Amino acid sequence: AQSVTQLDSQVPVFEEAPVELRCNYSSSVSVYLFWYVQYPNQGLQLLLKYLSGSTLVKGINGFEAEFNKSQTSFHLRKPSVHISDTAEYFCAVSPTGGFKTIFGAGTRLFVKA
């Protein structure tokens, strides 16, 4: 079985500051890793994914994430946030040979002017 822990429920940050949203996972099998963003009253949009290869993954909107196998982490980072980045961010894992995607509880990023 897999589980995902997002260590911060809310992250307030000032505009143009860097941000890191933390994600740890647990799994007994190989997994794919994802970050999704959800804007108010909308569905989820894929930000980036780790499948294999380079542990640093770049996504849309200037976000990137680093896969750390030894620490079973997949933290999301952005060097300079904008007001428009205010949203809910979800980390998710999916077994490479399976079908089920497990989501974390989400981190609300709030960017202040």
Partner 1 sequence: ETGVTQSPTHLIKTRGQQVTLRCSSQSGHNTVSWYQQALGQGPQFIFQYYREEENGRGNFPPRFSGLQFPNYSSELNVNALELDDSALYLCASSGAGTGYHNEQFFGPGTRLTVL
d(CA 63, CA 79): 8
Q: CB-wise, 83 or 105, nearer to partner 1? A: 105
Enumerate residues 43-82 that contact partner 1 by CB under 8 A: 43-46, 49, 51
Q: CB-wise, 15 or 24, nearer to partner 1? A: 24
d(CA 65, CA 107): 15
What's the closest the beta carbon of residue 83 comes to partner 1, in angstroms? Answer: 22
Tell me: does residue 94 bind partner 1 (CB under 8 A).
yes
Sign of CA dihedral 5, 68, 17, 111: negative
What's the closest the beta carbon of residue 110 comes to partner 1, in angstroms? Answer: 14
d(CA 56, CA 110): 24
